[in-house]
Amino acid sequence: MNKSRRKVFVAMSGGVDSSVAAALLQKQGYDVYGIFMKEWQAPGIKCTTHEDRQMAARVAAHLEIPFAVWDFSKEYKKAVVDYMIAEYKNGRTPNPDVMCNREIKFGLFLKKALASGADYIATGHYIRNFKIRNSKLKFGYKIFAAKDSNKDQSYFLWTLTQDQLKHCLFPIGEYTKPKVREIARKLKLPSWNKKDSQGVCFVGKLDFSEFLRAHIPKREGVIITTEGKEIGKHDGVQFRTIGQRYGIKGMKLYVAAKDIHTNIVTVAEENSSALYGKKLVITDINWISGEIPKTPLECLARIRYRQPLEKAILYKLSTTNYKLVFDKPQRAIAPGQSAVFYTKQGELLGGGIIGTL
């Protein structure tokens, strides 16, 4: 089949990355369609959705490709926002970007695109996807970190499966961000100098802590040091994250632990050993290959976005739980966040959700 007959639905956010993704696929001969996904917007909060949609439409018009808006606001509210709020209520620190990718972009969007006649979907993620032939002489797909290590987004895509990857294209994974902007400028794309989006879109310009407090009841509790000394009050452990800076009476302190049951927040000084740990439990694990590797598994891992990869060993505890042990202590291990595994060559093996030891 010629590429010109292969239909690709590109998730166009209005940003330069997805704009260039669409342009590159068009140059490669694909039949490109631009889709803007409407997310949920918190009532009364200014968001850039309208401006982003207009920019995506302008880029599509410039490329002379069909353009449509798909409203996923209700599904987004349930799968991402409600999930995030529920996790904070339970004292965990969720990652909404991971859930958005799993449930919306590579869930609902992919499903609707295929039902609408698409052969592939494409996004502006900085990640590389390769089609390979495995030992059983069957085709499969591997994910590698992007060429631009400063923009690599593989950390957020550990939930992807082989069934999804065979329909996914990531056109900008081989480029650096400056090169992507250069391509956009040369092609005179309207979004070429648009600033990168920051934070969670549906929260807009509102302080994130204010957003949480509008959805989660306050509950006053005490703040103690690692020695057990009470030094202040807080309005709820749900609003605090492990490793978060916590200024109290001019002291430079950080959240070392929190207990959802006793409603106690424990703080420590910046270099305190209480902020570090080597071991963590992982649940809801997903392997990109679809096959469970033998354990113990030596790998490289990270527990937050853009954190340098560190040597670790993964142990299987049960069919659903694993233990990850790092060579060196890691700062601020936060339950609810993602732990992601790689090979030395940069291949993304999979990941899971950090649990409580």
User: Which amino acids are annotated catalytic?
Assistant: 100, 201
Measured CA distances, 213 to 208, 216, 244 (Å): 9, 5, 17
Q: Which residues contact 57 (CB under 8 A, 6 or more apart)?
A: 34, 36, 67
3-state secondary structure of 237: helix
3-state secondary structure of 329: strand
d(C-alpha 169, C-alpha 282), whole Å = 29
E strand intervals along 117-236: 120-122, 127-133, 139-145, 168-169, 221-225, 230-234
d(C-alpha 170, C-alpha 156), whole Å = 14
Of residues 126, 84, 57, 71, the one with CA closest to residue 215: 84
Q: How long a stretch of residues is the chain?
A: 357
